[in-house]
Structure 1
Amino acid sequence: MGGMEFSRLLSCLADDFNLLRAAVAVTDPGAPVPSCPDWTVADLTGHVAKVYLHKTECIRLGAFPDPWPPEVTEPDPVAALDDAYAALTAEFAAHSPGDHAATWHEPDQTVGFWIRRMAQETVVHRADAELAAGLPVSPIPPDLAIDGIDEVLKLFVAYQSVRWREDFGALLDTPDKRPVSVSTSHHAWTVTATPFGVEAADAVTGFGGDALVSGDAAPLLLWLWNRAGDDAVRLSGDPALLAQFHALRTIATR
Protein backbone atom coordinates (compact mmCIF):
# COMPACT_ATOMS: atom_id res chain seq x y z
CA MET A 1 0.00 0.00 0.00
CA GLY A 2 1.16 3.57 -0.58
CA GLY A 3 2.33 5.55 2.42
CA MET A 4 0.95 8.82 3.73
CA GLU A 5 2.28 12.14 2.51
CA PHE A 6 4.97 13.48 4.82
CA SER A 7 3.13 16.80 5.18
CA ARG A 8 0.11 14.88 6.42
CA LEU A 9 2.22 12.86 8.87
CA LEU A 10 3.75 16.06 10.26
CA SER A 11 0.27 17.53 10.67
CA CYS A 12 -0.86 14.43 12.57
CA LEU A 13 2.29 14.57 14.70
CA ALA A 14 1.51 18.16 15.68
CA ASP A 15 -2.12 17.38 16.49
CA ASP A 16 -1.29 14.35 18.61
CA PHE A 17 1.58 16.08 20.40
CA ASN A 18 -0.79 18.86 21.43
CA LEU A 19 -3.31 16.34 22.74
CA LEU A 20 -0.59 14.38 24.56
CA ARG A 21 0.84 17.52 26.13
CA ALA A 22 -2.61 18.74 27.21
CA ALA A 23 -3.31 15.42 28.91
CA VAL A 24 -0.02 15.11 30.81
CA ALA A 25 -0.12 18.78 31.85
CA VAL A 26 -3.35 18.28 33.82
CA THR A 27 -2.49 14.88 35.33
CA ASP A 28 -0.57 14.09 38.52
CA PRO A 29 2.94 13.04 37.39
CA GLY A 30 2.73 10.12 39.80
CA ALA A 31 -0.55 8.83 38.38
CA PRO A 32 -0.45 5.35 36.84
CA VAL A 33 -0.79 4.79 33.09
CA PRO A 34 -3.45 2.05 32.75
CA SER A 35 -2.22 0.91 29.32
CA CYS A 36 1.43 0.73 30.53
CA PRO A 37 1.14 -0.67 34.08
CA ASP A 38 4.82 -0.16 34.93
CA TRP A 39 4.71 3.56 34.10
CA THR A 40 3.61 6.73 35.83
CA VAL A 41 2.62 9.81 33.85
CA ALA A 42 6.10 11.23 34.58
CA ASP A 43 7.63 8.05 33.12
CA LEU A 44 5.46 8.35 30.00
CA THR A 45 6.31 12.02 29.56
CA GLY A 46 10.03 11.37 30.05
CA HIS A 47 9.95 8.44 27.63
CA VAL A 48 8.42 10.49 24.83
CA ALA A 49 10.87 13.34 25.43
CA LYS A 50 13.85 10.95 25.26
CA VAL A 51 12.51 9.32 22.09
CA TYR A 52 12.16 12.74 20.43
CA LEU A 53 15.69 13.72 21.45
CA HIS A 54 17.13 10.41 20.25
CA LYS A 55 15.58 10.80 16.80
CA THR A 56 16.75 14.42 16.69
CA GLU A 57 20.30 13.18 17.19
CA CYS A 58 19.89 10.33 14.68
CA ILE A 59 19.13 13.00 12.08
CA ARG A 60 21.63 15.63 13.23
CA LEU A 61 24.55 13.20 13.52
CA GLY A 62 23.55 10.78 10.77
CA ALA A 63 24.42 8.07 13.30
CA PHE A 64 23.04 6.67 16.53
CA PRO A 65 24.06 8.90 19.46
CA ASP A 66 26.58 7.34 21.82
CA PRO A 67 26.59 7.60 24.78
CA TRP A 68 22.85 7.63 25.38
CA PRO A 69 20.73 8.82 27.15
CA PRO A 70 21.96 12.32 27.98
CA GLU A 71 21.99 13.80 31.45
CA VAL A 72 18.61 15.23 32.45
CA THR A 73 18.97 19.02 32.68
CA GLU A 74 15.28 20.00 32.81
CA PRO A 75 13.60 18.62 35.95
CA ASP A 76 10.05 19.49 34.87
CA PRO A 77 8.78 16.63 32.65
CA VAL A 78 6.38 18.79 30.63
CA ALA A 79 9.02 21.46 29.98
CA ALA A 80 11.46 18.72 28.92
CA LEU A 81 8.80 17.35 26.57
CA ASP A 82 8.29 20.80 25.04
CA ASP A 83 12.04 21.24 24.52
CA ALA A 84 12.39 17.82 22.91
CA TYR A 85 9.47 18.33 20.56
CA ALA A 86 10.81 21.73 19.52
CA ALA A 87 14.21 20.18 18.75
CA LEU A 88 12.66 17.31 16.78
CA THR A 89 10.39 19.45 14.65
CA ALA A 90 13.19 21.94 13.98
CA GLU A 91 15.30 19.06 12.67
CA PHE A 92 12.43 17.86 10.49
CA ALA A 93 11.97 21.40 9.14
CA ALA A 94 15.67 21.69 8.30
CA HIS A 95 15.67 18.55 6.15
CA SER A 96 13.88 16.93 3.25
CA PRO A 97 12.27 13.54 3.95
CA GLY A 98 14.80 11.91 1.62
CA ASP A 99 17.83 13.21 3.55
CA HIS A 100 20.01 10.70 5.39
CA ALA A 101 19.30 9.70 8.98
CA ALA A 102 20.36 6.72 11.05
CA THR A 103 17.44 4.33 11.61
CA TRP A 104 16.97 0.76 12.81
CA HIS A 105 15.32 -0.20 9.51
CA GLU A 106 18.23 -0.94 7.17
CA PRO A 107 16.30 -0.46 3.89
CA ASP A 108 15.22 3.07 4.88
CA GLN A 109 17.93 5.36 6.27
CA THR A 110 16.05 8.61 5.80
CA VAL A 111 14.51 11.48 7.74
CA GLY A 112 11.16 10.39 6.31
CA PHE A 113 11.38 7.13 8.26
CA TRP A 114 11.48 9.12 11.50
CA ILE A 115 8.67 11.45 10.42
CA ARG A 116 6.41 8.46 10.02
CA ARG A 117 7.73 6.69 13.12
CA MET A 118 7.30 9.73 15.36
CA ALA A 119 3.77 10.37 14.10
CA GLN A 120 2.87 6.79 14.97
CA GLU A 121 4.80 6.84 18.26
CA THR A 122 2.98 9.98 19.31
CA VAL A 123 -0.55 8.85 18.53
CA VAL A 124 -0.13 5.70 20.63
CA HIS A 125 1.41 7.54 23.57
CA ARG A 126 -1.23 10.26 23.23
CA ALA A 127 -3.81 7.55 23.87
CA ASP A 128 -1.78 6.42 26.91
CA ALA A 129 -1.78 9.98 28.25
CA GLU A 130 -5.52 10.41 27.74
CA LEU A 131 -6.24 7.11 29.48
CA ALA A 132 -4.02 8.15 32.40
CA ALA A 133 -5.86 11.48 32.62
CA GLY A 134 -9.23 9.73 32.68
CA LEU A 135 -10.15 11.37 29.39
CA PRO A 136 -11.87 9.67 26.46
CA VAL A 137 -9.37 8.69 23.78
CA SER A 138 -9.61 11.30 21.05
CA PRO A 139 -10.42 10.02 17.57
CA ILE A 140 -7.53 8.73 15.47
CA PRO A 141 -7.81 9.77 11.80
CA PRO A 142 -8.50 6.71 9.62
CA ASP A 143 -5.54 7.37 7.30
CA LEU A 144 -3.13 7.58 10.24
CA ALA A 145 -4.58 4.44 11.81
CA ILE A 146 -4.33 2.43 8.57
CA ASP A 147 -0.75 3.59 8.08
CA GLY A 148 -0.03 2.60 11.68
CA ILE A 149 -1.45 -0.89 11.18
CA ASP A 150 0.75 -1.26 8.10
CA GLU A 151 3.79 -0.13 10.11
CA VAL A 152 3.14 -2.50 13.02
CA LEU A 153 2.69 -5.52 10.79
CA LYS A 154 5.49 -4.88 8.27
CA LEU A 155 8.16 -3.19 10.39
CA PHE A 156 7.58 -4.29 13.96
CA VAL A 157 6.28 -7.84 13.52
CA ALA A 158 7.80 -8.83 10.17
CA TYR A 159 11.09 -6.91 9.88
CA GLN A 160 12.03 -7.22 13.55
CA SER A 161 11.32 -10.96 13.57
CA VAL A 162 13.84 -11.41 10.74
CA ARG A 163 16.42 -8.85 11.90
CA TRP A 164 16.29 -9.78 15.59
CA ARG A 165 14.90 -13.29 15.42
CA GLU A 166 16.49 -14.18 18.76
CA ASP A 167 14.09 -11.80 20.52
CA PHE A 168 11.20 -14.04 19.53
CA GLY A 169 12.55 -17.06 21.38
CA ALA A 170 11.05 -20.42 20.51
CA LEU A 171 7.99 -18.93 18.80
CA LEU A 172 9.59 -19.26 15.36
CA ASP A 173 11.32 -22.62 15.85
CA THR A 174 8.37 -24.66 14.58
CA PRO A 175 5.67 -22.07 13.87
CA ASP A 176 2.19 -22.64 12.52
CA LYS A 177 2.73 -21.40 8.97
CA ARG A 178 -0.92 -20.83 8.13
CA PRO A 179 -1.69 -17.18 7.32
CA VAL A 180 -3.55 -14.77 9.55
CA SER A 181 -5.66 -12.15 7.79
CA VAL A 182 -5.81 -8.64 9.24
CA SER A 183 -8.52 -6.47 7.74
CA THR A 184 -10.04 -3.02 8.15
CA SER A 185 -12.19 -0.97 5.82
CA HIS A 186 -10.81 -1.51 2.30
CA HIS A 187 -7.35 -2.59 3.47
CA ALA A 188 -6.10 -6.05 4.32
CA TRP A 189 -2.84 -7.77 5.15
CA THR A 190 -1.66 -11.36 5.36
CA VAL A 191 0.71 -12.30 8.18
CA THR A 192 2.56 -15.63 7.99
CA ALA A 193 5.05 -17.03 10.49
CA THR A 194 8.02 -18.99 9.14
CA PRO A 195 11.16 -20.40 10.80
CA PHE A 196 13.08 -17.47 9.24
CA GLY A 197 10.76 -14.77 10.55
CA VAL A 198 7.30 -13.39 9.95
CA GLU A 199 6.14 -12.28 6.51
CA ALA A 200 3.56 -9.50 6.22
CA ALA A 201 2.14 -8.31 2.92
CA ASP A 202 -0.80 -6.40 1.50
CA ALA A 203 -3.69 -8.64 0.57
CA VAL A 204 -6.97 -8.47 -1.26
CA THR A 205 -9.62 -7.30 1.18
CA GLY A 206 -11.48 -10.25 2.55
CA PHE A 207 -10.91 -13.43 4.51
CA GLY A 208 -9.35 -16.46 2.95
CA GLY A 209 -7.16 -17.78 5.75
CA ASP A 210 -7.52 -19.84 8.89
CA ALA A 211 -7.76 -16.86 11.26
CA LEU A 212 -8.99 -13.29 10.92
CA VAL A 213 -8.51 -10.12 12.95
CA SER A 214 -10.75 -7.30 11.75
CA GLY A 215 -12.27 -4.08 12.93
CA ASP A 216 -12.34 -0.34 12.52
CA ALA A 217 -8.90 1.11 11.90
CA ALA A 218 -8.40 3.09 15.12
CA PRO A 219 -9.35 0.35 17.61
CA LEU A 220 -7.45 -2.21 15.52
CA LEU A 221 -4.30 -0.07 15.72
CA LEU A 222 -4.64 0.30 19.50
CA TRP A 223 -5.27 -3.44 19.84
CA LEU A 224 -2.12 -4.26 17.87
CA TRP A 225 -0.17 -2.05 20.30
CA ASN A 226 -1.84 -3.77 23.29
CA ARG A 227 -3.72 -0.57 24.15
CA ALA A 228 -7.15 -2.14 23.72
CA GLY A 229 -8.71 -5.47 24.67
CA ASP A 230 -10.04 -8.18 22.41
CA ASP A 231 -13.49 -6.60 22.59
CA ALA A 232 -12.15 -3.75 20.41
CA VAL A 233 -11.74 -6.04 17.38
CA ARG A 234 -13.36 -9.10 15.83
CA LEU A 235 -11.42 -12.35 16.16
CA SER A 236 -12.43 -15.44 14.23
CA GLY A 237 -10.88 -18.69 13.09
CA ASP A 238 -8.44 -21.07 14.70
CA PRO A 239 -7.78 -20.10 18.36
CA ALA A 240 -4.26 -21.57 18.36
CA LEU A 241 -3.28 -19.56 15.28
CA LEU A 242 -4.72 -16.40 16.84
CA ALA A 243 -2.78 -17.13 20.03
CA GLN A 244 0.45 -17.43 18.04
CA PHE A 245 -0.24 -14.10 16.34
CA HIS A 246 -0.96 -12.50 19.72
CA ALA A 247 2.35 -13.79 21.08
CA LEU A 248 4.29 -12.52 18.06
CA ARG A 249 2.76 -9.03 18.12
CA THR A 250 3.22 -8.76 21.88
CA ILE A 251 6.96 -9.39 21.59
CA ALA A 252 7.24 -7.06 18.58
CA THR A 253 5.54 -4.13 20.32
CA ARG A 254 6.91 -4.35 23.84
Structure 2
Amino acid sequence: MEPSAQRAAVDADFALLNALAGTGSQRRVPSCPDWTLDDLLRHVALVYLHKAAAMRAGALPTEWPPPLDHEATPALLERAHAELTAEFEARDPSETTPTWYDPDQTVGFWIRRMALETAVHRVDAEQAAGVPVTPVGDELALDGIDEVLDIMLAWGSVKYREFRDEDLPTVELRSGGRRWFVRPTTQGVLIDASGEAETVIEASPSDALLWLWRRAGDEVITVTGDPAHVATLRDLMKTATE
Protein backbone atom coordinates (compact mmCIF):
# COMPACT_ATOMS: atom_id res chain seq x y z
CA MET A 1 0.00 0.00 0.00
CA GLU A 2 1.43 3.36 -1.00
CA PRO A 3 2.26 5.89 1.75
CA SER A 4 -0.13 8.41 0.18
CA ALA A 5 -3.00 5.94 0.58
CA GLN A 6 -1.92 5.16 4.14
CA ARG A 7 -1.86 8.90 4.92
CA ALA A 8 -5.39 9.21 3.56
CA ALA A 9 -6.45 6.26 5.73
CA VAL A 10 -5.09 7.97 8.85
CA ASP A 11 -7.23 11.02 8.15
CA ALA A 12 -10.36 9.05 7.24
CA ASP A 13 -10.27 6.87 10.34
CA PHE A 14 -9.29 9.81 12.52
CA ALA A 15 -12.41 11.65 11.36
CA LEU A 16 -14.58 8.70 12.44
CA LEU A 17 -12.70 8.41 15.74
CA ASN A 18 -12.83 12.12 16.47
CA ALA A 19 -16.58 12.19 15.85
CA LEU A 20 -17.00 9.87 18.86
CA ALA A 21 -15.02 12.09 21.24
CA GLY A 22 -18.17 13.52 22.81
CA THR A 23 -20.25 10.35 23.03
CA GLY A 24 -20.25 8.77 26.47
CA SER A 25 -16.67 9.35 27.55
CA GLN A 26 -17.01 6.89 30.46
CA ARG A 27 -18.22 3.98 28.35
CA ARG A 28 -15.99 0.92 28.63
CA VAL A 29 -13.93 -0.30 25.66
CA PRO A 30 -14.83 -4.00 25.14
CA SER A 31 -11.38 -5.02 23.85
CA CYS A 32 -9.58 -3.02 26.58
CA PRO A 33 -11.95 -3.25 29.57
CA ASP A 34 -9.66 -1.26 31.85
CA TRP A 35 -10.13 1.73 29.53
CA THR A 36 -13.00 4.12 29.12
CA LEU A 37 -13.64 5.75 25.76
CA ASP A 38 -11.93 8.86 27.13
CA ASP A 39 -8.86 6.78 28.08
CA LEU A 40 -8.76 5.33 24.57
CA LEU A 41 -8.92 8.72 22.87
CA ARG A 42 -6.18 10.11 25.12
CA HIS A 43 -4.06 7.06 24.32
CA VAL A 44 -4.41 7.74 20.59
CA ALA A 45 -3.51 11.40 21.14
CA LEU A 46 -0.39 10.42 23.11
CA VAL A 47 0.66 7.95 20.42
CA TYR A 48 0.36 10.66 17.75
CA LEU A 49 2.30 13.18 19.85
CA HIS A 50 5.02 10.61 20.61
CA LYS A 51 5.61 9.89 16.90
CA ALA A 52 5.55 13.59 16.03
CA ALA A 53 8.10 14.29 18.75
CA ALA A 54 10.35 11.45 17.55
CA MET A 55 10.35 12.79 13.99
CA ARG A 56 11.02 16.38 15.13
CA ALA A 57 13.87 15.46 17.47
CA GLY A 58 15.36 12.58 15.50
CA ALA A 59 15.16 10.41 18.61
CA LEU A 60 12.48 8.53 20.51
CA PRO A 61 11.41 10.55 23.58
CA THR A 62 13.03 9.31 26.79
CA GLU A 63 10.67 11.07 29.21
CA TRP A 64 7.06 10.32 28.33
CA PRO A 65 4.28 11.30 28.58
CA PRO A 66 4.45 15.06 29.11
CA PRO A 67 2.01 16.63 31.60
CA LEU A 68 -1.26 16.93 29.70
CA ASP A 69 -3.93 16.69 32.42
CA HIS A 70 -4.87 20.33 31.88
CA GLU A 71 -5.95 19.69 28.28
CA ALA A 72 -9.44 18.36 27.54
CA THR A 73 -9.50 15.17 25.51
CA PRO A 74 -11.24 16.50 22.36
CA ALA A 75 -8.80 19.41 22.07
CA LEU A 76 -5.81 17.18 22.83
CA LEU A 77 -6.84 14.66 20.19
CA GLU A 78 -7.27 17.29 17.49
CA ARG A 79 -3.96 18.96 18.37
CA ALA A 80 -2.15 15.62 18.29
CA HIS A 81 -3.54 14.75 14.87
CA ALA A 82 -2.54 18.20 13.56
CA GLU A 83 1.03 17.78 14.86
CA LEU A 84 1.34 14.30 13.39
CA THR A 85 -0.01 15.51 10.04
CA ALA A 86 2.43 18.42 9.99
CA GLU A 87 5.40 16.11 10.56
CA PHE A 88 4.28 13.73 7.82
CA GLU A 89 3.77 16.61 5.39
CA ALA A 90 7.25 17.96 6.11
CA ARG A 91 9.00 14.68 5.28
CA ASP A 92 9.39 12.14 2.51
CA PRO A 93 8.35 8.61 3.51
CA SER A 94 11.90 7.43 2.75
CA GLU A 95 13.47 9.91 5.20
CA THR A 96 15.28 8.35 8.14
CA THR A 97 13.63 8.62 11.55
CA PRO A 98 13.88 6.50 14.70
CA THR A 99 11.34 3.70 15.19
CA TRP A 100 11.10 0.69 17.49
CA TYR A 101 11.27 -1.71 14.52
CA ASP A 102 14.96 -2.31 13.80
CA PRO A 103 14.63 -3.24 10.07
CA ASP A 104 12.75 -0.04 9.13
CA GLN A 105 13.93 3.33 10.42
CA THR A 106 11.92 5.56 8.08
CA VAL A 107 9.00 7.95 8.17
CA GLY A 108 7.14 5.46 6.00
CA PHE A 109 7.13 2.99 8.88
CA TRP A 110 5.29 5.51 11.07
CA ILE A 111 2.84 6.41 8.30
CA ARG A 112 1.84 2.76 7.94
CA ARG A 113 1.84 2.16 11.70
CA MET A 114 -0.35 5.20 12.40
CA ALA A 115 -2.80 4.22 9.65
CA LEU A 116 -3.29 0.83 11.29
CA GLU A 117 -3.16 2.17 14.85
CA THR A 118 -5.94 4.59 13.97
CA ALA A 119 -8.04 1.95 12.19
CA VAL A 120 -7.92 -0.54 15.06
CA HIS A 121 -8.59 2.08 17.73
CA ARG A 122 -11.39 3.59 15.65
CA VAL A 123 -13.02 0.15 15.83
CA ASP A 124 -12.45 0.15 19.61
CA ALA A 125 -14.18 3.51 19.86
CA GLU A 126 -17.14 2.41 17.75
CA GLN A 127 -17.57 -0.71 19.89
CA ALA A 128 -17.39 1.39 23.07
CA ALA A 129 -19.90 3.92 21.71
CA GLY A 130 -22.29 1.15 20.68
CA VAL A 131 -22.43 2.22 17.03
CA PRO A 132 -22.01 -0.11 14.03
CA VAL A 133 -18.39 -0.95 13.29
CA THR A 134 -17.18 0.45 9.98
CA PRO A 135 -15.24 -2.26 8.11
CA VAL A 136 -11.59 -1.56 7.41
CA GLY A 137 -11.05 -1.11 3.66
CA ASP A 138 -9.64 -4.18 1.89
CA GLU A 139 -6.32 -2.61 0.88
CA LEU A 140 -5.57 -1.27 4.35
CA ALA A 141 -6.79 -4.47 6.02
CA LEU A 142 -4.53 -6.68 3.88
CA ASP A 143 -1.62 -4.34 4.60
CA GLY A 144 -2.52 -4.64 8.28
CA ILE A 145 -2.54 -8.44 8.13
CA ASP A 146 0.98 -8.29 6.69
CA GLU A 147 2.07 -5.93 9.45
CA VAL A 148 0.60 -7.78 12.41
CA LEU A 149 1.89 -11.16 11.22
CA ASP A 150 5.30 -10.11 9.91
CA ILE A 151 6.21 -7.53 12.56
CA MET A 152 4.15 -7.98 15.74
CA LEU A 153 4.08 -11.78 15.60
CA ALA A 154 7.09 -13.06 13.62
CA TRP A 155 9.67 -10.34 14.36
CA GLY A 156 8.33 -9.84 17.85
CA SER A 157 8.63 -13.57 18.59
CA VAL A 158 12.38 -13.31 17.94
CA LYS A 159 13.03 -9.85 19.36
CA TYR A 160 10.94 -9.89 22.53
CA ARG A 161 8.92 -13.01 23.15
CA GLU A 162 9.47 -16.48 24.51
CA PHE A 163 7.51 -19.25 22.83
CA ARG A 164 7.13 -22.93 23.62
CA ASP A 165 10.10 -25.26 23.22
CA GLU A 166 8.40 -27.48 20.63
CA ASP A 167 7.13 -26.82 17.13
CA LEU A 168 3.41 -26.11 16.85
CA PRO A 169 1.04 -26.82 13.93
CA THR A 170 1.15 -24.56 10.90
CA VAL A 171 -2.08 -22.62 10.31
CA GLU A 172 -3.03 -21.11 6.94
CA LEU A 173 -4.93 -17.82 6.79
CA ARG A 174 -6.79 -16.95 3.58
CA SER A 175 -8.22 -13.51 2.88
CA GLY A 176 -8.72 -11.25 -0.10
CA GLY A 177 -7.19 -13.76 -2.51
CA ARG A 178 -4.01 -14.02 -0.43
CA ARG A 179 -2.56 -16.73 1.81
CA TRP A 180 -0.35 -16.62 4.89
CA PHE A 181 1.16 -19.73 6.49
CA VAL A 182 1.89 -19.17 10.18
CA ARG A 183 4.47 -21.66 11.44
CA PRO A 184 5.57 -21.48 15.09
CA THR A 185 9.04 -22.98 15.69
CA THR A 186 11.49 -23.19 18.54
CA GLN A 187 13.31 -20.18 17.04
CA GLY A 188 10.21 -18.02 16.64
CA VAL A 189 7.19 -17.73 14.38
CA LEU A 190 7.74 -17.91 10.62
CA ILE A 191 5.32 -16.39 8.08
CA ASP A 192 5.37 -17.83 4.54
CA ALA A 193 3.32 -17.14 1.41
CA SER A 194 3.14 -20.83 0.50
CA GLY A 195 3.26 -24.16 2.26
CA GLU A 196 0.99 -26.78 3.74
CA ALA A 197 -1.33 -26.67 6.72
CA GLU A 198 -3.88 -29.02 8.25
CA THR A 199 -5.99 -26.10 9.44
CA VAL A 200 -7.22 -23.20 7.31
CA ILE A 201 -8.84 -19.97 8.51
CA GLU A 202 -10.81 -17.86 6.02
CA ALA A 203 -12.33 -14.40 6.50
CA SER A 204 -12.85 -11.11 4.73
CA PRO A 205 -9.84 -8.75 4.96
CA SER A 206 -11.47 -6.54 7.59
CA ASP A 207 -12.68 -9.48 9.68
CA ALA A 208 -9.31 -11.25 9.43
CA LEU A 209 -7.44 -8.14 10.57
CA LEU A 210 -9.78 -7.52 13.49
CA TRP A 211 -9.68 -11.19 14.48
CA LEU A 212 -5.87 -11.15 14.52
CA TRP A 213 -5.97 -8.00 16.68
CA ARG A 214 -8.57 -9.73 18.90
CA ARG A 215 -11.19 -7.07 18.13
CA ALA A 216 -13.51 -9.74 16.66
CA GLY A 217 -14.36 -13.24 17.82
CA ASP A 218 -14.36 -16.60 16.10
CA GLU A 219 -17.81 -15.89 14.65
CA VAL A 220 -16.18 -13.86 11.84
CA ILE A 221 -13.93 -16.68 10.59
CA THR A 222 -14.52 -20.00 8.84
CA VAL A 223 -12.30 -22.88 9.94
CA THR A 224 -11.40 -26.05 8.10
CA GLY A 225 -9.41 -28.43 10.26
CA ASP A 226 -8.61 -28.56 13.97
CA PRO A 227 -10.13 -25.78 16.14
CA ALA A 228 -7.32 -26.37 18.65
CA HIS A 229 -4.84 -25.05 16.08
CA VAL A 230 -6.96 -21.91 15.76
CA ALA A 231 -6.92 -21.49 19.54
CA THR A 232 -3.11 -21.78 19.49
CA LEU A 233 -2.84 -19.01 16.93
CA ARG A 234 -5.31 -16.92 18.91
CA ASP A 235 -3.11 -17.30 21.99
CA LEU A 236 0.01 -16.34 20.02
CA MET A 237 -1.75 -13.23 18.72
CA LYS A 238 -2.67 -12.24 22.28
CA THR A 239 1.01 -12.28 23.17
CA ALA A 240 2.02 -10.46 19.98
CA THR A 241 -0.53 -7.63 20.23
CA GLU A 242 -0.45 -6.80 23.93
- Note the 1:51-70 alignment, pairs <5 A: 51-70=47-66
Choose the corresponding residue for 2:229, options 241, 247, 254.
241
Separation in structure 2 between the aligned mates of residue 149 and residue 218 of structure 1, nearest angstrom: 9
Q: Which residue of 2 is the match for residue 200 of structure 1?
A: 191
Shift of 1:243: 2.1
Name structure 2 gaps, 5 residues minimum: none
Q: Which residue of 1 is the match for residue 146 of structure 2?
A: 150
Choose the corresponding residue for 1:187, options 152, 165, 178.
178
State the TM-score, normalized to the length of structure 1. Answer: 0.91
State the TM-score, normalized to the length of structure 2. Answer: 0.96
- Note the 1:1-254 alignment, pairs <5 A: 4-25=1-22, 27-72=23-68, 74-165=70-161, 168=162, 171-176=163-168, 178-203=169-194, 208-254=196-242
Which amino acid in 1 is paired with 2:224? S
Q: Which moves more between the two structures, 228-237 or 4-13?
A: 228-237
Separation in structure 2 between the aligned mates of residue 118 and residue 74 of structure 1, nearest angstrom: 25
Identity %: 46
**Alpha-carbon contact 1:101-1:109 (below 8 Å) kept:** yes
Secondary structure at the residue paired with 2:183?
strand
- Structure 1 segments of 4 or more deviating over 4 A? none
Please tell me the root mean square deviation across aligned C-alpha atoms, in Å. 1.3
Which amino acid in 1 is paired with 2:7? L
**Alpha-carbon contact 2:138-2:176 (below 8 Å) kept:** no
Shift of 1:73: 5.3
Deviations 1:52-109 (A, max 9, x none): 0111122112211011111115431111011111100100000000111111111100
Separation in structure 2 between the aligned mates of residue 122 and residue 179 of structure 1, nearest angstrom: 30
Separation in structure 1 between the aligned mates of residue 58 and residue 153 of structure 2, nearest angstrom: 26
Which amino acid in 2 is paired with 1:12? A
Shift of 1:241: 2.3
Name structure 1 gaps, 5 residues minimum: none
Separation in structure 1 between the aligned mates of residue 235 and residue 228 of structure 2, nearest angstrom: 11
Residues 56 and 155 of structure 1: CA distance in aligned 2, closer, same or farther (over 3 Å): same
Which amino acid in 1 is paired with 2:14? F
Q: Which moves more between the two structures, 48-57 or 236-245?
A: 236-245
**Alpha-carbon contact 1:154-1:201 (below 8 Å) kept:** no
Shift of 1:216: 0.5
Query: Number of paired residues?
Result: 242
Which amino acid in 2 is paired with 1:188? R
Shift of 1:36: 1.7
Shift of 1:146: 0.6
Residues 202 and 62 of structure 1: CA distance in aligned 2, closer, same or farther (over 3 Å): farther
Separation in structure 2 between the aligned mates of residue 14 and residue 187 of structure 1, nearest angstrom: 27
Which amino acid in 2 is paired with 1:117? R
